[in-house]
Amino acid sequence: MKVGAVIITMGNRPDELRALLDSVAKQDGDRVEVVVVGNGSPVPDVPEGVRTIELPENLGIPGGRNVGIEAFGPSGRDVDVLLFLDDDGLLAHHDTAELCRKAFEADPKLGIISFRIADPETGVTQRRHVPRLRASDPMRSSRVTTFLGGANAVRTQVFAEVGGLPDEFFYAHEETDLAWRALDAGWMIDYRSDMVLYHPTTAPSRHAVYHRMVARNRVWLARRNLPALLVPVYLGVWMLLTLVRRPSRSALKAWFGGFREGWTTSCGPRRPMKWRTVWRLTRLGRPPVI
C-alpha cells in the first residue's frame, strides 16, 4: 500500500519539524511521501523530496489538513493511506508505516488508526490521549469511536466516501465529526498502542480560543451528526460535565459564549447518523450521548 503523510505547521517549530521529517524518512518499507502545509506562514527548510504548500492565511487545523489531503489528488487517491502528524511530534519507531500497511491490508473495513501519544521524556500517555471512556490502560489496543488528530492514519477511501475534515470547525472536535461519518458509512477505527508518536505533554487549554471553540464545535458536532432525539441529551450531558469540572469564571464565560454561538451560526450540512450506527457506538463502549 502506498503511504503518504500530511503535516501542517505555523513555521514556529523548525527544529521539531525537521526531527519529525527525519523520523518519517527512516520508516521501514517503501518511502513515505510527505507534504508539509504552511498554515498561513512560510514553511521552514525541509529535506529534499518533501513537498511544501504555503497558504496565504491560517485555515485552521481541519482546513490545513484538507489542503494536504488534496495535494495527493482528489480525496488523496494517489496514495492508499495518509498519516497525519503534529509538527512537534516524532515517530518513536521505524516500523509505524509498515504496521499501518499490514493493519489496513488485513482488515478491509478498517478506516482509521489512532496512534498512542507518549511524552518523549517520561513515556507517559495522558488519559485524554486514549480515545475511549475506559482510558486507564493506554497500552491496551482496541476498537474505538474517535481518534487523535495529530497522530493517526486514514485510509484515503474514507475521504472519497464521506468527505474530508470539517473546515468550519477550525480547531476542536473535527476528528470526531469525521469519525462519526466514517462509522456511519461502515468503517471501523482502531486505537493501536504499538504505534507511537512522541509528543511533549501539554494542556489543550493553552490555546486562547480553547473554551469557546470546544463549546461551539460540540454543538455543531451534535447538530450535524446526531438523530434529533439525541441532540439535547448529548449537549445536556456535556454541559453538566463542564460545570462539574468547575472551570474558572472567564473559561465558563467563554464556554457559554461558544455554546450560544454553536446554536446561532451555521454548522454546515446536517447528515444524522443511522440508528444502527448509534447502536454500534454503544456496543463499542461510547454511546453518542457522552
List the pLDDT tens digit at each of the 290 positions of the chain: 999 999 999 999 999 999 999 999 999 999 999 999 999 999 999 999 999 999 999 999 999 999 999 999 999 999 999 999 999 999 999 999 999 999 999 999 999 999 999 999 999 999 999 999 999 999 999 999 999 999 999 999 999 999 999 999 999 999 999 999 999 999 999 999 999 999 998 777 555 589 999 999 999 999 999 999 999 999 999 999 999 999 999 999 999 999 999 999 999 999 999 999 999 999 999 999 98
H or E stretch including 197?
strand 188-198
Strand partners, 8: 37
d(CA 186, CA 108): 11
Q: Which CATH number fits domain 3-198: 1.10.287.3510, 3.90.550.10, 2.30.30.30, 3.40.1160.10?
A: 3.90.550.10
pTM of the predicted structure, to 2 decimals? 0.96
User: Cell match 491496551: residue?
Assistant: 140
Annotate 68-106 with three-state secondary structure: HHHCCCHHHCCCCEEEEECCCCEECCCCHHHHHHHHHHH
Q: Supply the pLDDT for residue 207.
A: 54
Cα Rg, the chain, nearest whole Å: 18
The answer to whether 9 touches 39, Cβ cutoff 8 Å, is: yes
User: Cell match 471501523: residue?
Assistant: 188
pLDDT tens digits, 220-255: 999 999 999 999 999 999 999 999 999 999 999 999
Domain ranges within the chain, ordered by starting residue: 3-198, 208-272+280-284
Strand partners, 196: 116
Q: Is 121 helix (H, G, I), strand (E, B) or coil?
A: coil
Name the grid cell of 259. Answer: 455554546
Q: How far is CA 157 from each of CA 164, 165, 281, rounded to the nearest angstrom?
A: 11, 14, 21
Q: Supply the pLDDT for residue 258.
A: 97
